[in-house]
């Protein structure tokens, strides 16, 4: 996977209120969100955010309501202006862009998929899917082939000439994804894109996104409040609380080694067998086990391995990735991984 940094966010602050620069001085001296609101009547949206978003990966920004996640994503294309900080895209500071550069950024480099679909009701599905190309000056005839290609890719072939009100919620969101893909933008911003969908449809949309990502390798920034969704989609997970980052990193690592009581509480009720992957608990080695019960993938979840083993804790599996051995998994180690660590243990273990 390409690890080049596509977007770099450094020392980003956002404070809402009449004199944000004055309030910023208080925040930098240690004043928190609640105190800032009470004493200075300003709202702390983001506090000293530092994140590297890597090309070709899905970066998930997760947090509860009011954590600052939607505020953060809207800084990337400058729908919101920061109070302080820097946002670099391919090494260029987005905050220095003029109106023409910003317009080009939003039209050609960053597409956006919204929670509420944001389809134009008087336009057909085809016209909605090609909207990004329409605003660039292409006619319907010119973008029809490209729009139809992506509509078919998201499972909407044959629906091109219907209108949004004739589609289900899941189908409307597929139009939104097709619109983002038809723009050919290298970056997709997805703000709670699946939150309004029913659970089964939501799961299907997550699978669709992962399938498309395997093929297209877009740089995706995905906003959600749902931990299960975060763990399923993220290559890199950033967890926000009250405008600041509590923990960030590879999601399996965060699940295994939470470094804060807030994270520990957040993951306490999660089904670890369903979300933990073999790669997180295996022993890395290319030496085959002497008594091998079979081959498993490094991407398999632990639940599937437990089912395969029929609960036999004496078994050992060879772990494979793209046809090559990358590790060994002993069922005894798998069982240990199902017991959550407390925050202090997680912090201690993360140092080694």
Most confident of 41-55, 252-266, 288-302, 337-351: 41-55
Cβ-based burial of 1 (10 A; exposed 0-12, middle 13-18, buried ≥19): exposed
More confident residue, 38 or 340: 38
Q: At CA 274, angle to CA 270 and CA 276, rounded to 5? A: 85
Q: Tokens 């105190």 label which residue?
A: 35
Structure confidence by residue, pLDDT tens digits, 60-92: 999 998 899 999 999 999 999 999 999 999 999
- C-alpha torsion sign, points 144, 149, 152, 153: negative
Q: Give the separation between CA 234 and CA 220, rounded to whole angstroms.
A: 9
Maximum distance among all Cα pairs of the chain, rounded to whole angstroms: 69
List strands edge to edge, sheet with 316-321: 283-284, 324-330, 316-321, 295-297
Tokens of 337: 């991984």
- C-alpha torsion sign, points 180, 186, 191, 197: positive
Give which of 244, 237, 208 is closest to 222, Cα–Cα.
237
Q: Is the pLDDT of residue 272 over 90?
A: no
Q: Is the pLDDT of residue 344 over 50?
A: no
Give which of 13, 106, 113, 95 is closest to 58, Cα–Cα.
113
Q: What pLDDT, on a 0 to 100 scale, did the predictor assign at position 341?
A: 57
Q: Give the separation between CA 93 and CA 11, rounded to whole angstroms.
A: 13
Q: What pLDDT, on a 0 to 100 scale, did the predictor assign at position 247?
A: 96
Structure confidence by residue, pLDDT tens digits, 166-208: 998 889 989 989 998 888 899 999 998 888 788 888 888 899 8
5-249 belongs to CATH 3.40.50.300: yes
CA 287 to chain centre: 35
Domain residue spans of the chain = 5-249, 272-337
Q: Give the separation between CA 94 and CA 97, rounded to whole angstroms.
A: 5
Q: What pLDDT, on a 0 to 100 scale, did the predictor assign at position 1?
A: 39
pLDDT tier for residue 346 given thresholds of 50, 70 and 90:
very low
Q: What pLDDT, on a 0 to 100 scale, did the predictor assign at position 114?
A: 80
More confident residue, 350 or 175: 175
Q: Give the separation between CA 215 and CA 197, rounded to whole angstroms.
A: 24
Tokens of 327: 């590790």
Q: Is the pLDDT of residue 9 over 90?
A: yes
Contacts of 336 (CB under 8 A, 6+ apart): 281
Q: Give the separation between CA 112 and CA 152, rounded to whole angstroms.
A: 20
Q: Is the pLDDT of residue 227 over 60?
A: yes
Equal CATH topology for 5-249 and 272-337: no
Mean pLDDT score of the chain, rounded to an integer? 90
CA 95 to chain centre: 23
Q: What pLDDT, on a 0 to 100 scale, did the predictor assign at position 195?
A: 84
Q: What pLDDT, on a 0 to 100 scale, did the predictor assign at position 342?
A: 54
- C-alpha torsion sign, points 106, 112, 114, 118: positive
Q: Give the separation between CA 54 and CA 6, rounded to whole angstroms.
A: 5
Beta pairing class for 295-297 and 316-321? parallel
Mean pLDDT on 104-131 = 88
Q: Give the separation between CA 330 and CA 312, rounded to whole angstroms.
A: 10
Could you please state the CATH topology (level 3) that the domain comprising 272-337 is classified under: CBS domain Like (3.90.1280)
Could you tell me how many residues make up the chain? 352
Mean pLDDT on 148-164 = 92
Among residues of the chain, what percentage have pLDDT more than 70? 95
Note whether 81 and 96 are within 8 A (CB): no
Q: Give the separation between CA 123 and CA 328, rounded to whole angstroms.
A: 54
Tokens of 314: 């004496």
Mean pLDDT on 301-308 = 94
């Amino acid at each position: 996977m390409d690890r080049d940094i596509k977007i770099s966010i450094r020392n980003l602050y956002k404070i809402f209120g009449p004199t944000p620069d004055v309030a910023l001085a208080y925040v930098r001296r240690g004043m928190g969100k609640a105190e800032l609101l009470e004493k200075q009547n300003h709202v702390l949206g983001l506090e000293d955010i530092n994140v590297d978003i890597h090309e070709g990966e899905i970066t998930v920004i997760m947090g509860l309501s009011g954590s600052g996640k939607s505020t953060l994503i809207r800084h990337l294309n400058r729908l919101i202006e920061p109070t302080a900080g820097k946002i670099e895209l391919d090494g260029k500071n987005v905050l220095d862009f003029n109106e023409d550069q910003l317009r080009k950024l939003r039209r050609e480099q960053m597409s956006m998929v919204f929670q509420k679909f944001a389809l134009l009701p008087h336009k057909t599905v085809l016209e909605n899917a090609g909207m990004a190309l329409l605003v660039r000056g292409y006619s319907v005839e010119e973008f029809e082939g490209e729009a139809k290609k992506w509509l078919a890719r998201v499972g909407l072939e044959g629906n091109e000439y219907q209108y949004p009100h004739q589609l289900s919620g899941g189908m409307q969101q597929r139009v939104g994804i097709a619109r983002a893909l038809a723009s050919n933008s290298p970056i997709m911003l997805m703000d709670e894109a699946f939150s309004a969908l029913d659970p089964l449809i939501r799961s299907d949309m997550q699978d669709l996104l992962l399938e498309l990502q395997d093929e297209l390798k877009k740089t995706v920034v995905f906003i959600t409040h749902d931990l299960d969704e975060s763990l399923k989609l993220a290559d890199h997970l950033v967890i926000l609380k009250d405008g600041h980052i509590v923990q960030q990193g590879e999601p399996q690592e965060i699940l295994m080694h939470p470094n804060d009581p807030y994270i520990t509480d957040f993951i306490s009720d999660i089904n670890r067998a369903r979300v933990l992957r073999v790669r997180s608990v295996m022993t890395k080695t290319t030496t085959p086990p002497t008594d091998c019960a079979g081959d498993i993938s490094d991407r398999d979840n632990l639940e599937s391995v437990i089912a395969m083993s029929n609960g036999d804790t004496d078994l050992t599996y060879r772990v494979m990735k793209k046809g090559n051995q990358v590790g060994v998994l002993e069922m005894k180690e798998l069982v240990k991984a199902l017991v959550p660590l407390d925050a202090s243990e997680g912090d201690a273990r993360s140092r080694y």
